[in-house]
Amino acid sequence: MRYLSTVKMAEDVGTPPQALVEAMGAEMGEAFANGWIVDAGGLYPLSQSTEFRLSAGSITTTDGPFTEAKEVAGGYAIIQADSDEQARALARRVVEIHLENWPGWEGSVELRRIAEPEGGPPHG
């Protein structure tokens, strides 16, 4: 099963401490080596983003930044896991690493299972 994990935080949190960079690098290296992470990366700021929206039959294009955004996705990972529990443990570990290595950081990690072509997401 694959999952999309996004790290969300205020966009103006500043530069991450070197301790966090090193701890995340070690953790991600191990996760890639074990096949638990398929892909991962940081995301550019909202000022370098574009949103396409369909409303009332019209498509509008808006370039960032978006003033209504309180938290933004700062990074992502595609997780490959054998169970929901394993995926949840891997995503929670990211929050623990932030707690241990970035004093005062506040944010979240959102975990969502990716629908496979043969299984599709549940409806309702």
Q: Does residue 1 carry a pLDDT above 80?
A: yes
- Name residue 37's amino acid: I
Place of tokens 């953790």: 27
pLDDT for 124 equals 58
- State residue 117's pLDDT score: 83
The predicted pLDDT at position 123 comes to 65
pLDDT score of 66: 76
Across the chain, mean pLDDT equals: 92
Give 20 or 12, the one with higher predicted confidence. 20
Domain layout of the chain by residue ranges: 2-113
Q: Tokens standing for 108?
A: 């979240």
C-beta separation of 3 from 114 below 8 A: yes
Residue pair 90/36 in contact (Cβ under 8 Å)? The answer is yes
Interval 14-32: pLDDT, tens: 899 999 999 999 999 999 9
Distances (CA, A) of 54 to 22, 46, 66: 41, 20, 17
- Could you tell me the fold of the domain covering 2-113? Alpha-Beta Plaits (3.30.70)
pLDDT digit string, tens, across residues 47-79: 899 999 999 999 999 998 876 767 889 999 999
Helices 18-34 and 84-101, packing angle to 10 deg: 160
Q: Are 109 and 8 in contact (CB under 8 A)?
A: yes
